[in-house]
């Protein structure tokens, strides 16, 4: 038995005394073919990434040091002025950062909890679970603008679902999209509703794939209910939770269409998030430099958040 | 294979960095203020071609093709498309294509992007004074060389032609022009014994509040008036009614007391009386009877007339200190884009000439509600008949004598956005009036300062 536990030693190339073999023409041809195939497959994607990813990002970074209205023939270099202006007190950036943080936090945490609960329920294979699965996933298939319009009707305080719901308790519906107290919540609810089905389906399939033997062992040890979920299911789902958290934060932080249809960032700046501010600065105020500087700030923030998540994941996420 | 994989990865990394650097180097080189923005005196620009035109119907092949980006959708776009079809049928040399790009804001964005791409339409239609920024960028061609005895600025309603010129040249001919109107539920007003067909004041409407609220619609008391999120255009008339101005030259809100009075009035009507409110969709609420009155463009006349199932009333904008108040000119006019083609510019001028015929202007007025911008259109038999049968359409024309171009600070998209936001804070959020004024003042002053050179060049 002990010999089985000893590591297998592979012969080291450095220790071999044989001279290096010259590759045969067939081997060279094979390598050439492989290289050609590699380039043929990689080049279109590489070009797409460069043209639609790197170039706009770098161009945006350059524009962030300029003053331009997009109409004049060329931008004018202003150095760090746009960044200084952005971080001055009273700047719209502070409102946008706060709104983005609340929106992302509530939307991501809410959909993770809700999605996990729905996913776990679906995995019970109750009657009509197929239909429920389809219904739960359907909102994710809708374009954001359609979701916005749908919720615009539901939030309408005069004839929307909201009016009916609140009137059941003898209350008046809040003016969801036209008052600052509720506008941010209106976009958060609409967005979370759209994403919930996607998260639920991912959790549902992940739960179905969990190894049965671990559960059988846990059952033998008498584990059930919350402890089973807390100490077995949740850690096993951590790679999925990590994936959904990273993609969820990035997707939520980039939300635009629902805001455009529901509140247009208002009233005032009450529902202005970073993407809306970028749009507003670029295409309402035509301050391209400020808009580009805001986009750069957003890029850096998302990069930092993702790096922190990745570092955390290496310690806390269990892949097996 | 292991070595090969590594080398590929390194190669990819290196390529990624290399191409990134190349992309950075390829960015448009920013320039200093002194070497940018030079304009040519020519009406042509050799590097600006026509944007994609779409499929040309076979019966129009072989003609000179021109493209118009229309800032309308729905019924207005249908009405405009019909006029284009009539133009295409009326002659055999030119095919005029029309494409809807959405609304005015969409056109602004699309045309801005088109200028960057150097692929532009031949004709555009900007609201009020928003064409100025494109004029300053040298994107528009003067129309004067195409004018003759039949087609020139003299044929149009003269209230609107002041917004057509920069320097001595004409860059816009008025077309879909409007003023704001006060629309009310005449049936309800009659039922309650409230005055109709009269010049209202804002205070008078506020007094009607409790009486109007005594009637319910779907279990809710009917509100008197609905504000909305984008009220900047109407706010010009509100302040004129309260005897104030938003800006005078470069002086912002010279009499702040009038602005405070107006904003306090709006705030109290909503949050103290509770008879006005900030609507999500004011015209929808009006059509469904949730609210008794709204304001809207003359261009809403046709749509509202057909949508409501009660008698529609239309009146001048309410006054207060000034009755009737001055009202802002609104709507849009046609501009010709500087491109590489003289032939297409000549063809565009032919289209503009056709649309300025009295019968075409009259048809547009009937189909949309926009004012009959060509003076002679008011004598067209169909227009005369319309006004005889529906006096609401006449109200818009009668109010024209009170129409005036808005203050320079509201010529800009960002200025109107700031004004709308200021009122949204006061009416929607019950925000502090003085705080809203201070914020608006800061944004207005910064806007005027940013555009000082351009505005001074225009004589502001």
Looking at the structure, do residues B315 and B431 belong to the same domain, yes or no?
yes
Identify whether B10 is part of a domain.
no
Domain boundary among B346, B361, B389: B389
Could you tell me which residues come within 8 angstroms of residue B104 by beta carbon, excluding any fewer than 6 positions away? B71, B126, B127, B130, B332
Looking at the structure, do residues B308 and B350 belong to the same domain, yes or no?
no
Per-residue model confidence (pLDDT) at position A306: 87
Looking at the structure, do residues B185 and B174 belong to the same domain, yes or no?
no
Among B429, B436, B438, B441, which would you mutate to test the A interface (most chain A Cβ atoms within 10 Å of its Cβ)? B429
CB within 8 Å: A76 and B30: yes
Among B39, B132, B280, which would you mutate to test the A interface (most chain A Cβ atoms within 10 Å of its Cβ)? B280
Which of the four pLDDT bands, split at 50, 70 and 90, describes residue B12? very low
Q: Which helix (H) or strand (E) holds A297?
A: helix A288-316
Which of the four pLDDT bands, split at 50, 70 and 90, describes residue B220? confident
Rounded to whole angstroms, how far apart are CA atoms B188 and B310? 8
Identify whether A40 is part of a domain.
no
Please tell me the total count of domains within chain A: 1
pLDDT at B333 over 90: yes
Nearest to B151 by CA among B314, B447, B352: B352
Segments of chain A with pLDDT less than 70? 1-22, 316-320
CB within 8 Å: A267 and B428: yes
The single-letter DSSP state of residue B289 is: T
Contact B393, B201 (CB under 8 A): no
Among A32, A51, A58, which would you mutate to test the B interface (most chain B Cβ atoms within 10 Å of its Cβ)? A58
Q: Which helix (H) or strand (E) holds B330?
A: strand B330-337
Contact B116, B107 (CB under 8 A): no
CB within 8 Å: A74 and B288: no
For residue B401 the two structure tokens come to 């004598």
CB within 8 Å: A179 and B19: no
Per-residue model confidence (pLDDT) at position A94: 93
User: How far are the Cα atoms of B100, B175, B180, B300, B319 from residue B297, in angstroms, in the given order?
Assistant: 20, 14, 4, 5, 17
Rounded to whole angstroms, how far apart are CA atoms B150 and B175? 16
- Would you give the end-to-end CA distance of chain A in angstroms? 26
Cβ neighbours around B383 below 10 Å, total: 22
- Of A50, A71, A268, which is closest to B425 when you measure between CB atoms? A268
Identify whether B84 is part of a domain.
yes
Identify whether B4 is part of a domain.
no
Bigger pLDDT: B396 or A101?
Answer: A101
Rounded to whole angstroms, how far apart are CA atoms B228 and B272? 18
Q: Which residues of chain A have a CB within 8 Å of the CB of B20?
A: 50, 54, 58
Per residue in A101-132, pLDDT (tens digit) is 999 999 999 999 999 999 988 888 778 878 88
- Which B residues 276-305 touch A at CB under 8 Å? 277-281, 285, 288, 290
Rounded to whole angstroms, how far apart are CA atoms B185 and B217? 13
User: How far are the Cα atoms of B61, B153, B154 from residue B149, in angstroms, in the given order?
Assistant: 31, 10, 9
Per-residue model confidence (pLDDT) at position A25: 86
Identify whether A126 is part of a domain.
yes
Please tell me the total count of domains within chain B: 2
Looking at the structure, do residues B205 and B150 belong to the same domain, yes or no?
no
Looking at the structure, do residues B298 and B196 belong to the same domain, yes or no?
yes
Looking at the structure, do residues B171 and B200 belong to the same domain, yes or no?
no
CB within 8 Å: A268 and B424: yes
- Would you give the end-to-end CA distance of chain B in angstroms? 73
- Which B residues 308-337 touch A at CB under 8 Å? none
Per-residue model confidence (pLDDT) at position A1: 37
Q: DSSP letters of B129-171?
A: TTTHHHHHTT-EE-SGGG--SSSSGGGB-TTTGGGSEETTEE-
> Average pLDDT over chain B, rounded to whole?
89
pLDDT, average across residues B394-411 = 91
pLDDT, average across residues B198-218 = 95
Looking at the structure, do residues B187 and B171 belong to the same domain, yes or no?
no
Rounded to whole angstroms, how far apart are CA atoms B402 and B393? 16
Q: Which helix (H) or strand (E) holds A207?
A: helix A180-208
For residue A97 the two structure tokens come to 């950062």
Q: Which residues of chain B have a CB within 8 Å of the CB of A150?
A: none
Rounded to whole angstroms, how far apart are CA atoms A186 and B280? 13
Report the chain A residue with the minimal C-alpha distance to residue B30: A75
Strand partners, B125: B334
Nearest chain A Cα distance for residue B360, angstroms: 33
Identify whether B451 is part of a domain.
yes
Identify whether B34 is part of a domain.
no
Contact B433, B264 (CB under 8 A): yes
- Of A54, A71, A77, which is closest to B115 when you measure between CB atoms? A71
Sign of torsion, CA A274 B228 A90 B410? positive
| CATH number of the structural domain spanning residue B207 | 3.40.190.10
Identify whether B200 is part of a domain.
yes
Q: Is the peptide bond before A267 cis (omega within 30 degrees of 0)?
A: yes
Contact of B4 with chain A, judged by CB distance below 8 Å, is answered with yes
Domain boundary among B359, B389, B419: B389
Q: Which residues of chain B have a CB within 8 Å of the CB of A49?
A: 16
Report the chain B residue with the minimal C-alpha distance to residue A47: B19
Could you tell me which residues come within 8 angstroms of residue B68 by beta carbon, excluding any fewer than 6 positions away? B84, B96, B97, B98, B99, B121, B122, B123, B124, B125, B351
pLDDT at B376 over 60: yes
Rounded to whole angstroms, how far apart are CA atoms A161 and A131? 23
Nearest chain A Cα distance for residue B60, angstroms: 34
Contact A130, A204 (CB under 8 A): no
Contact B433, B426 (CB under 8 A): yes
Q: Which residues of chain B have a CB within 8 Å of the CB of A62?
A: 24, 27, 30
Helix (H, G, I), strand (E, B) or coil at B64: strand
Rounded to whole angstroms, how far apart are CA atoms A148 and A191? 8
For residue A140 the two structure tokens come to 């994710």
Contact of B139 with chain A, judged by CB distance below 8 Å, is answered with yes
CB within 8 Å: A178 and B421: no
- Which B residues 392-411 touch A at CB under 8 Å? none
Q: Which domain holds residue B371?
A: 49-178+331-389
Cβ neighbours around B430 below 10 Å, total: 16
Per residue in B120-162, pLDDT (tens digit) is 999 999 988 889 888 988 899 999 999 999 999 999 999 889 8
Rounded to whole angstroms, how far apart are CA atoms B315 and B295? 10
Lowest-confidence region among A138-147, B30-39, B378-387: B30-39
CB within 8 Å: A180 and B429: yes
Q: Which residues of chain A have a CB within 8 Å of the CB of B108?
A: 283
Report the chain A residue with the minimal C-alpha distance to residue B105: A284
pLDDT at B35 over 80: no
Identify whether B397 is part of a domain.
no
CB within 8 Å: B36 and A285: no
Per-residue model confidence (pLDDT) at position A318: 62
| Beta-sheet pairing, B327-328 with B403-404 | parallel
Contact B315, B200 (CB under 8 A): yes
Q: DSSP letters of B434-458?
A: HHHHHHHHHHHHHHHHHTHHHHHHT
- Of A38, A59, A179, which is closest to B428 when you measure between CB atoms? A179
Identify whether A49 is part of a domain.
no
Q: DSSP letters of A129-175?
A: HHHHHHHHHHHHHS-HHHHHHHHHHHH-TTTSHHHHHHHTTT-PPP-
Identify whether A84 is part of a domain.
no
For residue A302 the two structure tokens come to 């998302």
Could you tell me which residues come within 8 angstroms of residue B97 by beta carbon, excluding any fewer than 6 positions away? B53, B54, B56, B65, B66, B67, B68, B84
| CATH number of the structural domain spanning residue A235 | 1.10.3720.10
pLDDT, average across residues B111-115 = 90
The single-letter DSSP state of residue B230 is: T
Identify whether B109 is part of a domain.
yes
Cβ neighbours around A33 below 10 Å, total: 10
Looking at the structure, do residues B88 and B171 belong to the same domain, yes or no?
yes
Cβ neighbours around B102 below 10 Å, total: 16
- Of A50, A76, A179, which is closest to B31 when you measure between CB atoms? A76
**CA A165 to chain CA centroid, nearest Å:** 31
Q: Is the peptide bond before A125 cis (omega within 30 degrees of 0)?
A: no
Q: DSSP letters of A87-139?
A: TSTT-HHHHHHHHHHHHHHHHHHHHHHHHHHHHHHHTT--TTHHHHHHHHHHH
Burial pattern B315-337, b for ≥16 Cβ within 10 A else e, equals bbbbbbeeebbbbbbbbbbbbbb
Q: Which domain holds residue A100?
A: 95-314
Looking at the structure, do residues B87 and B162 belong to the same domain, yes or no?
yes
Nearest to B363 by CA among B82, B92, B34: B82
Could you tell me which residues come within 8 angstroms of residue B358 by beta carbon, excluding any fewer than 6 positions away? B374, B376, B377, B379, B380
Residue appearing with tokens 């080189």: B29
- Of A34, A62, A66, which is closest to B24 when you measure between CB atoms? A62
The single-letter DSSP state of residue B319 is: B
Could you tell me which residues come within 8 angstroms of residue B10 by beta carbon, excluding any fewer than 6 positions away? none
Looking at the structure, do residues B421 and B277 belong to the same domain, yes or no?
yes
Q: How many beta-carbon pairs under 8 angstroms link A with B?
A: 138
- Of B8, B28, B425, which is closest to A74 when you measure between CB atoms? B28
Rounded to whole angstroms, how far apart are CA atoms B182 and B297? 9
Looking at the structure, do residues B134 and B264 belong to the same domain, yes or no?
no
Give A27-40 as a 3 state SS string.
HHHHHHHHHHHHHH
Looking at the structure, do residues B172 and B97 belong to the same domain, yes or no?
yes
pLDDT at B26 over 70: no
Q: What angle do CA B274, B275, B276 make, to 5 degrees?
A: 95
- pTM beyond 0.80, yes or no: no
Could you tell me which residues come within 8 angstroms of residue A199 by beta carbon, excluding any fewer than 6 positions away? A111, A112, A114, A115, A116, A119, A244, A248
């Amino acid at each position: 038995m002990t010999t089985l536990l000893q590591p297998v030693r592979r012969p080291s190339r450095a220790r071999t005394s044989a001279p290096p073999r010259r590759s045969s023409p067939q081997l060279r041809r094979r390598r050439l073919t492989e290289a050609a195939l590699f380039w043929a497959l990689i080049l279109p994607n590489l070009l797409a990434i460069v043209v639609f990813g790197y170039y706009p990002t770098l161009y945006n970074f350059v524009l962030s040091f300029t003053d331009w209205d997009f109409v004049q023939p060329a931008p004018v270099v202003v150095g760090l002025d746009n960044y200084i202006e952005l971080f001055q007190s009273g700047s719209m950036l502070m409102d946008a950062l706060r709104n983005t943080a609340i929106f992302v936090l509530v939307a991501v945490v809410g959909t993770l909890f809700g999605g996990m609960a729905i996913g776990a329920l679906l995995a019970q294979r109750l009657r009509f679970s197929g239909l429920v699965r389809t219904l739960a996933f359907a909102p994710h298939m809708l374009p954001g603008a359609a979701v916005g319009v749908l919720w615009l009707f539901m939030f309408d305080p005069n004839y929307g679902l909201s009016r009916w719901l609140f009137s059941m308790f003898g209350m008046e519906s809040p003016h969801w999209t036209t008052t600052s107290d509720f506008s941010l919540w209106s976009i958060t609810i609409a967005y979370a509703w759209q994403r919930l089905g996607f998260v639920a389906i991912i959790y549902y399939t992940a739960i179905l794939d969990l190894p049965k033997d671990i559960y059988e062992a846990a059952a033998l040890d008498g584990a059930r209910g919350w402890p089973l979920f807390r100490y077995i299911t949740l850690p096993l789902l951590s790679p999925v939770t990590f994936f959904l958290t990273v993609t969820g934060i990035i997707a939520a932080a980039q939300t635009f269409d629902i805001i455009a249809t529901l509140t247009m960032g208002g009233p005032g700046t009450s529902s202005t998030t970073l993407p809306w501010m970028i749009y507003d600065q670029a295409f309402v105020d035509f301050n391209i430099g400020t808009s580009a500087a805001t986009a750069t700030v957003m890029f850096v923030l998302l990069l930092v958040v993702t790096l922190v998540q990745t570092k955390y994941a290496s310690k806390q996420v269990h892949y097996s | 294979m292991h070595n090969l994989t590594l080398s590929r990865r390194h190669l990819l990394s290196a390529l990624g960095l290399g191409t990134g650097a190349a992309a950075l180097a390829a960015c448009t080189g920013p320039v200093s203020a002194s070497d940018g923005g030079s304009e040519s005196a020519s009406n042509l620009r050799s590097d600006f071609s026509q944007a994609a035109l779409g499929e040309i119907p076979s019966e129009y092949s072989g003609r000179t093709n021109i493209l118009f980006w229309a800032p309308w959708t729905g019924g207005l776009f249908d009405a405009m498309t019909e006029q284009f079809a009539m133009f295409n049928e009326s002659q055999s040399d030119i095919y005029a294509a029309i494409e809807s790009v959405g609304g005015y804001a969409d056109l602004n964005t699309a045309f801005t992007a088109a200028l960057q791409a150097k692929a532009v339409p031949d004709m555009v239609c900007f609201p009020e004074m928003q064409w100025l920024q494109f004029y300053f960028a040298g994107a528009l061609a003067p129309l004067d060389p195409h004018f003759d005895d039949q087609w020139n600025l003299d044929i149009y309603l003269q209230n609107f032609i002041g917004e057509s010129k920069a320097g001595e040249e004409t860059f816009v001919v008025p077309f879909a022009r409007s003023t704001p109107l006060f629309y009310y539920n005449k049936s309800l007003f009659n039922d309650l014994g409230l005055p109709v067909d009269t010049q209202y004041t804002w205070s008078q409407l506020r007094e009607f509040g409790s009486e109007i609220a005594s009637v319910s619609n779907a279990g809710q008391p009917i509100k008197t008036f609905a504000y909305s999120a984008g009220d900047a255009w109407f706010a010009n008339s509100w302040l004129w009614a309260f005897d104030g101005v938003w800006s005078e030259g470069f002086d912002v809100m010279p009499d702040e007391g009038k602005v405070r009075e107006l904003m306090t009035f709006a705030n109290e009507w909503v949050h103290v009386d509770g008879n006005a409110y900030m609507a999500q969709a004011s015209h929808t609420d009006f059509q469904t009877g949730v609210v008794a009155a709204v304001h809207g463009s003359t261009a809403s006349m046709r749509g509202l007339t057909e949508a409501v199932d009660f008698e529609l009333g239309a009146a001048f904008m309410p006054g207060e200190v000034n009755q009737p108040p001055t009202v802002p000119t609104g709507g849009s006019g046609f501009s010709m884009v500087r491109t590489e083609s003289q032939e297409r510019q000549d063809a565009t001028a032919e289209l503009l000439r056709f649309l300025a015929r009295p019968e075409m202007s009259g048809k547009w007025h009937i189909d949309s509600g926009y004012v009959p911008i060509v003076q002679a259109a008011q004598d067209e038999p169909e227009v005369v008949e319309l006004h005889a049968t529906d006096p609401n359409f006449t109200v818009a024309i009668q109010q024209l004598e009170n129409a005036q171009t808005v203050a320079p600070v509201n010529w800009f998209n960002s200025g109107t956005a700031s004004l709308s936001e200021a009122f949204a804070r006061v009416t929607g959020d019950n925000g502090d009036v003085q705080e809203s004024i201070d914020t608006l003042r800061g944004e207005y002053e910064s806007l005027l300062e940013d555009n000082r050179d351009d505005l001074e060049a225009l004589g502001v």
